[in-house]
Amino acid sequence: MTDSHAIAAEDLGVRYDLRFNRKKTVQRTLAQMLSREPIEQFWALRHVHLRVQHGESVAVIGPNGAGKSTLLQVLAGIIRPSEGVVDVRGHVSGLLTLGVGFDQELTGRENILLGGAFLGLDDAVARELLPAIVAYAELGDFIDAPLKTYSAGMRARLGFAIATAVDPDILLLDEVLATGDASFRAKSKTRVLELVRAAKAVVLVTHDMSWVTEYCNRAILIEKGHVIIDGEPEEVVETHRLHTEEEKERKANAAVAAGISPVIAGR
């Protein structure tokens, strides 16, 4: 890994141990641990290779449960990979889950300072950025209201304003651009493009295929923890569309064979 990449992942894998879950009793779990019975494991990601250069905006798409959010959490350093290596170069800012690092009882203004600390900013820098973040979020008088009174769209505004105010080298976004009104979505897209033009790296998970084809340099399709295709956005989006249609047809055929209504099966 000697080039000028922003992100490089080699043979990345994330494995979860399923012996601890709510469906198993304590006795059953202990018995399995003490016996030679194989431990149930689930690979959320496996053999993932990814390289993102500065100035690239990369969309990660795929069906629910494919491993997209897990990938972003690994890149953000929230999850440690079970195998493989990840090399992330530069200051990372991410908005991976709405409300992470926020306090429901604090005001929006207070949560900006809290969110800044969550991103590693010292208090003086966070306070210096505070007016710009307040202005960008466009929350009006709600900026001094408790976060528990905010809608999902308002939380997205606040979180996005904080995540992009720190001028990150690498920005990680998970579905946040789908939340909020049309004007703020347009504003957030403009900000992402500004970051890309400034040679920043952006990796985002989205179900908005128009965003993928209009604003991303590359796209990656993940299915069942594996990268299926990595390339031009239009090609990747079309592959995703075809696979989605094939999966719907497969479920419908299976439902017919089982005597179940295809409408119910496709839900």
pLDDT score recorded for residue 40? 72
pLDDT computed for residue 36 by the predictor: 61
Domain encompassing residue 156:
5-232
Residue 185 lies in a domain: yes
Q: What pLDDT score was predicted for residue 256?
A: 87
pLDDT tens for residues 162-195?
Answer: 888 878 899 898 876 666 678 888 888 888 888 8
pLDDT digit string, tens, across residues 73-117: 999 998 999 999 999 999 888 877 655 668 999 999 999 999 888
Choice between 234 and 171, residue whose per-residue pLDDT is larger: 234
Is residue 71 within 8 Å of 49, Cβ to Cβ?
no
- pLDDT at position 227 is 97
Amino acid at 150: Y
Better-predicted residue by pLDDT, 242 or 35? 242
- Average pLDDT of the chain? 86
pTM across the whole model: 0.80
pLDDT at site 33: 57
Task: Indicate whether 264 belongs to any domain.
Answer: no
Q: Tell me what pLDDT residue 75 has.
A: 94
- Residue 1 pLDDT exceeds 50: no
Q: What is the pLDDT of residues 120-165, one digit of tens each?
A: 788 999 999 999 999 999 999 999 999 999 998 898 889 888 888 8
Residue 202 covered by a domain: yes
Identify the pLDDT of residue 194.
86
Does 219 score more than 50 pLDDT?
Answer: yes
Lowest mean pLDDT among 31-45, 100-114, 190-204: 31-45
| DSSP per-residue codes, the chain | --S-EEEEEEEEEEEEETTSSTTS-HHHHHHHHHSSPPPPEEEEEEEEEEEEETT-EEEEE-STTSSHHHHHHHHTTSS--SEEEEEE-S-EEEE-STTTT--TTSBHHHHHHHHHHHTT--HHHHHHHHHHHHHHHT-GGGGGSBGGG--HHHHHHHHHHHHHHT--SEEEEESGGGSS-HHHHHHHHHHHHHHHHTT-EEEEE-S-HHHHHHH-SEEEEEETTEEEEEE-HHHHHHHHHHHHHHHHHHHHHHHHHHT--HHHHT-
Higher-confidence residue of 30 and 207: namely 207
The verdict on residue 253 lying in a domain is no
Report which of residues 74 and 262 the model is more confident about: 74
CATH code, domain carrying 45 = 3.40.50.300
- In the chain, the number of structural domains is 1
User: Is residue 265 pLDDT above 50, yes or no?
Assistant: yes
- Asked whether residue 113 is domain-assigned, the answer is yes
Per-residue pLDDT at 228 exceeds 70: yes
